[in-house]
A and B are shown apart, each in its own frame.
Chain A
Amino acid sequence: MRLPLLAALSLVAAPALAAGWEDTLAAAKGQTVYWHAWGGDDRTNSFIEWASSELEAEYGVTIAQVKLSDTAEAVTRVVAEKAAGQTEGGAVDLIWINGGNFLSMKEQGLLYGPFLNELPNARYLDLTEGGAAVTDFTIPTEGYESPWRLARFVLTYDSARVTEPPHSMAELLAWSAAHPGRFTHPSVSNFMGATFLKQALVELARDPSTLASPPTEEAFSAETEPLWVWYDALRPTLWREGKAFPENESIQQQMLNDGEVDFTMAFDPAAAAAAVEKGLLPDSVRSYAPTAGSIGNISFVAIPFNAAHKEAAMVVANFLLDPEVQARAQDIRVLGSYSVLDPARLDTAETAAFAALPGSAALPSNAALGRTLPEPHPGWMTRIAEEWARRYTE
């Protein structure tokens, strides 16, 4: 890592900015960032450990990852601190966040910022209004969070057992009806389960453009009606007749490995390839997105209003946007998470680093991934999850 070089470059490029940034670096030195991040993925955990050792060497900043089983735990923590009047020295310095959790924290004034423009590496991002790097589930981020990894919805199956995987929600229903008990999705109270329903909604809605704004009563019942018709037919064909669901996609991945079901899903195109590498899936698995495309979004990091180590948290956020770090994250042997940077803003050497990354049979080609569909407004996800619980909880 030649990070000092990059820092020096940014000094030349924007002296005024860099002076402020120098102060941030000085203040950050010696601090430990309590990064609350979902801990269910080992590779992400290792990546964060690696980032910590790099940051310690370069800036004297270390990361202590607080492994969450659900991001909302961190939100609850900040809420409890605010309830107790703790406006500084909070337990949470940085949160891996997006969607509903971000909206909830932003609306309640629980976030520090805007800080994105203070990060030197933000210049590698496409900051155009409405762009993917500054929009979180249709909500403008307004500098209150910084992107770090790109996610896309994919389905994964075992090609040793499934020869013709379904390419649309209608085909999926037909496949599941022909193979009862072999398809399922994570519990809808879980992010991945709700994302599956959202993917179906985007594909089945009468007018997908309505999904960009918060759902009104009318729009909700009109747009989700085809979804529920489809789901009513699908549910009895699911694993355990749709009366129980795996808790999350990790459990479902294990079920695919055990042969208990034939599909799993992920919000990360490289998840299956990574699992093969670790001996967690057979090497016959393949990932793909439905023909019409799949929803995708960017994951962010945000800093709570009362974080004890804001400067160091910003140093971490900036580090995550470094092209070399992003290229490392995209390496299938490391994380396999696609870069959030704007390729047009990278120089030749930086672009070459991405081109040199290795591939894998379980890694979908760009063609198999197809188009990225926009996320609906977060209100839809909340409403869908509630409505699903109302309809299908006995």
Chain B
Amino acid sequence: MTVREGRALRILVLTAVVGALVLPIMAGLFETARAAFGYLPVVGADHLSLAPWRRLADLPGLRASIILTLWTGFAATILSLFMAFALAGRVWMHSGGKRLRALALPLLAAPHAAMAIGLAFLIAPSGWIARVISPWATGWQVPPGIATVHDPGGIALILGLIVKEVPFLLLMILSVLAQIKAREQAAAARALGYSPQTVWTKILVPQIYRLIRLPVFATLAFALSVVDMALILGPTQPPTLAVAMTRWFVAADTRLLMPASAAAILLAALAMLSVALWILGERVMGALNRRRIVGGARRGWPIAVGAATGQVLLWLGTAALIALLVWSLAWRWSFPNGLPESWSVTAWMRGGWWIALKQSLFLGTVTVLVSVTLSVLWLEGETRAGLARARWASALIYLPLMVPQAAFLFGLSVAFLRGGIGAGHFAVMWGQALFVYPYVMLALSDPWHALDRRLDRTAASLGAGPWRRLFRVKLPILLRPILTAAAIGFAVSVAQYLPTLLLGAGRVTTLTTEAVTLASGSDRRVTGVFAVLLAAMPLVGFGLAFAIPALFYRNRRGLSGGRA
């Protein structure tokens, strides 16, 4: 009975995931690929050819764009991973995890666009840091001619990505740390004369890494294809491939749509190649490390440096968010004054942000509701079947995180229109859910599977049916992780830039699209208002995810068995 019901449920959820997630992505890729090979009837191109690729190859700066993309993507991912492990190691050895979490969470919650804007306010030649140390320490009466933002080497972009990815990876590491019986292993290793640092690097890091590989791949793919942050912080002449491609997609010359599609396919290929390269790198590192580990040396690499750098970057990210708030309340703030000469709430009073805020809130709520429902049903299907997740199923779920969004979004907008779904709220909602759902699954899978099975069995032995067990036992116990997953999903939805822009035909203006548009404007004060709100929204979501279970469980602390 249960097994059959479980199968029906699984088939239903699988159909929903395939139909709503996989098919649109495939259709989008298909349309993009057709355009990349010369089939885009509207511009008079109706037979397959390699012309778009030749055109792409001839576009100035393509080679440099590819190199920049790989450089910024790999540098940001490797450094983020290193610093996240170093910080987590320090926490594990010396505690202080609570403070670090408190520091990391707002940075994790803040959308990339808001963080990028804040960092630009901070580190630009005319930024807050330069203002604070000028002219008394530097002698600068006017901002120095140093490229600290939009620098040709992409350092600012790498910095921005690290500030965002370190908190993400750090929290991932801290959450799996609890799964791997770290204390027991450490005690055994210590008895053999290993220092805590060596235990961390030689014994725990490899185990943790195995458990966070997917998030790491997602981080890499994301870093390679990020558009909003690269627009605000990245090199401009030439830009990264994702930005160049976006520019070609929106260029006046519609003939560029086909080479732009080719660039999108190229970007997707680069991302896949990069993940493959990364896996190869893992093998090599694994082989090297194994020799070191079995070599028995009791010294590990110095993690103090990584942890200190990571700490500085986390503070930098926090300062960036504060810079947003200060600018939103400034009236005139000339260089090199450390603080505004005059303050004003004019930028807040104008109220244009209200519509964007409502829009973000609406989209976030709807996509989260859909994604959480779908995730719970999927996981419940797994539980009832008593099966571990097959690799193909993981691949399906995380597909949207592995394929660069730009590669299928233009095609998806064409496919949606073909299917009678015009640009607007519905298309944007769907497009956002493609990214919200995998993150919700990512956040919910482990706590779900870690739930003590005996509770389920006890309830069953008392005669509760599967649905009753789900609603009366599992969901209440898992309230905290479910709300945390919802808050993560909400943050993902609020942060979406390209899907909102392309699938909404510009009609759907959220805090993110407005903030990115304003960032290329001239008024830091108004930009500050939108970016502050943008950064605050997901944080409020996390606050609720924390507060609601606390309220709900105030009399039954023992019930909050699900780990967040």
| Known contacts A280-B522, A393-B61, A83 near B507 by CB under 8 Å | no
Q: Smallest CB–CB gap between B258 and chain A, Å?
A: 11
The stretch from B78-86, B144-152, B162-170 touching chain A is: B144-152
Tell me the count of chain B residues lying within 8 A, CB to CB, of chain A. 58
**Which B residues from 234 to 278 make CB contacts under 8 A with A?**
235-238, 247, 249-254, 257
8 Å CB contact of B507 from A41, A66, A101: A66
Q: Across the interface, do B506 and A390 meet the contact criterion of CB distance under 8 Å?
A: no
Q: Smallest CB–CB gap between B555 and chain A, Å?
A: 50
Q: Across the interface, do A189 and B247 meet the contact criterion of CB distance under 8 Å?
A: yes
| Known contacts A244-B150, A244-B236, A250-B522, A258 near B126 by CB under 8 Å | yes
Q: Across the interface, do A76 and B150 meet the contact criterion of CB distance under 8 Å?
A: no
CB of A231 closer than 8 Å to a CB of B: no
- Nearest B-chain residue to A74, judged by Cβ: B506
Q: Across the interface, do A251 and B413 meet the contact criterion of CB distance under 8 Å?
A: no
The stretch from A85-93, A216-224, A336-344 touching chain B is: A85-93
1/0 per residue, CB under 8 A from A, across B120-143: the answer is 000001100000000000000111
| Bound: A152/B506 CA distance, A | 28
CB of A257 closer than 8 Å to a CB of B: yes
Collect the chain B residues with CB atoms within 8 Å of residue A392's CB. 237
| Bound: A392/B236 CA distance, A | 13
Q: Across the interface, do A101 and B506 meet the contact criterion of CB distance under 8 Å?
A: no
| Bound: A377/B236 CA distance, A | 28
**Which B residues from 480 to 530 make CB contacts under 8 A with A?**
501, 505-507, 509, 514, 516-517, 520-524, 526
**Which A residues from 49 to 93 make CB contacts under 8 A with B?**
64, 66-77, 79-86, 89, 91-92
CB of A279 closer than 8 Å to a CB of B: yes
Q: Across the interface, do B253 and A382 meet the contact criterion of CB distance under 8 Å?
A: yes
CB of A128 closer than 8 Å to a CB of B: no
Q: Across the interface, do A254 and B254 meet the contact criterion of CB distance under 8 Å?
A: no
CB of A36 closer than 8 Å to a CB of B: yes
Q: Across the interface, do B523 and A278 meet the contact criterion of CB distance under 8 Å?
A: yes
The stretch from B178-186, B296-304, B307-315, B415-423 touching chain A is: B415-423
The stretch from B285-293, B329-337, B392-400 touching chain A is: B329-337
| Bound: A393/B237 CA distance, A | 6
Number of A-B contacts (CB under 8 A): 155
Collect the chain A residues with CB atoms within 8 Å of residue B235's CB. 244
**Which A residues from 281 to 300 make CB contacts under 8 A with B?**
282
Q: Smallest CB–CB gap between A41 and chain B, Å?
A: 8
Q: Across the interface, do B145 and A254 meet the contact criterion of CB distance under 8 Å?
A: no
CB of A239 closer than 8 Å to a CB of B: yes
Q: Across the interface, do B250 and A76 meet the contact criterion of CB distance under 8 Å?
A: yes
Q: Smallest CB–CB gap between A103 and chain B, Å?
A: 9
Q: Across the interface, do B507 and A34 meet the contact criterion of CB distance under 8 Å?
A: yes
Q: Across the interface, do B423 and A91 meet the contact criterion of CB distance under 8 Å?
A: yes
**Which B residues from 460 to 476 make CB contacts under 8 A with A?**
none
CB of B424 closer than 8 Å to a CB of A: yes
Q: Across the interface, do B517 and A40 meet the contact criterion of CB distance under 8 Å?
A: yes
Q: Across the interface, do A100 and B253 meet the contact criterion of CB distance under 8 Å?
A: yes
Q: Across the interface, do A67 and B506 meet the contact criterion of CB distance under 8 Å?
A: yes
**Which A residues from 131 to 168 make CB contacts under 8 A with B?**
none
Q: Across the interface, do B238 and A76 meet the contact criterion of CB distance under 8 Å?
A: no
| Bound: A73/B331 CA distance, A | 32
Q: Across the interface, do B250 and A72 meet the contact criterion of CB distance under 8 Å?
A: yes
CB of A199 closer than 8 Å to a CB of B: no
CB of A209 closer than 8 Å to a CB of B: no
Collect the chain A residues with CB atoms within 8 Å of residue B151's CB. 244
Q: Which 6 A-B pairs have the closest CB atoms?
A: A84-B417, A258-B126, A250-B522, A259-B142, A393-B60, A91-B505
Known pairs A64-B507, A189-B247; list 19 more (Cβ under 8 Å): A72-B252, A73-B250, A79-B43, A79-B254, A84-B417, A100-B252, A100-B253, A244-B150, A247-B520, A250-B522, A251-B520, A254-B523, A258-B126, A259-B143, A259-B334, A259-B335, A260-B125, A279-B331, A393-B61
Query: What are 20 A-B interface contacts by the 8 Å CB criterion?
Result: A42-B526, A64-B507, A68-B517, A70-B250, A72-B252, A80-B414, A85-B417, A91-B423, A104-B252, A187-B236, A189-B247, A245-B237, A247-B236, A251-B522, A253-B522, A254-B522, A254-B523, A259-B143, A279-B332, A394-B64
- What is B's interface to A at a CB cutoff of 8 Å? 40-43, 60-61, 64, 125-126, 141-143, 145, 147, 150-152, 235-238, 247, 249-254, 257, 331-332, 334-335, 342, 344, 352, 410, 413-414, 417-418, 422-424, 501, 505-507, 509, 514, 516-517, 520-524, 526
